[in-house]
């Protein structure tokens, strides 16, 4: 159905991790599954690791991902262009949950 994971977990210097979530089945999009999975997963990551924030990247035209990140409490930090594609960077801090 999909995957959710953190990578680049840094408990020493930056005290952060990066989030990745994918729902493969298009017919499951828009049903709140990613929303619930992300909320639960983020709480677990903050409880398990000594980090203060989680970051996430998405393409600017990925309205589903941007909506999900905002819905669960991520804040848009930066817009940038890489290889001609506009992307957004989001963060959530531990105290947001």
- Angle, CA of 3, 33 and 59, to the nearest 5°: 60
Q: What is the pLDDT of residue 96?
A: 53
- What pTM did the predictor assign? 0.89
- Whether residue 97 is predicted with pLDDT greater than 80 in this model: the reply is no
User: 28-75 pLDDT, tens per residue?
Assistant: 777 778 899 999 999 999 999 999 999 999 999 999 999 999 999 999
Q: What is the pLDDT of residue 24?
A: 82
- CATH top-level class for 2-96? alpha beta
Domain segments of the chain as ranges: 2-96
């Amino acid at each position: 159905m999909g995957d959710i994971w953190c990578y680049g977990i840094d408990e020493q210097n930056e005290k952060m991790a990066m989030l990745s979530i994918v729902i493969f089945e298009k017919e499951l999009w828009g049903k709140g599954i990613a929303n619930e999975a992300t909320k639960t997963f983020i709480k677990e990551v903050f409880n398990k690791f000594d980090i203060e924030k989680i970051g996430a990247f998405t393409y600017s035209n990925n309205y589903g991902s941007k909506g999900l990140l905002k819905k669960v409490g991520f804040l848009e930090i930066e817009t940038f262009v890489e290889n001609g594609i506009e992307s957004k960077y989001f963060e959530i801090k531990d105290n947001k949950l």
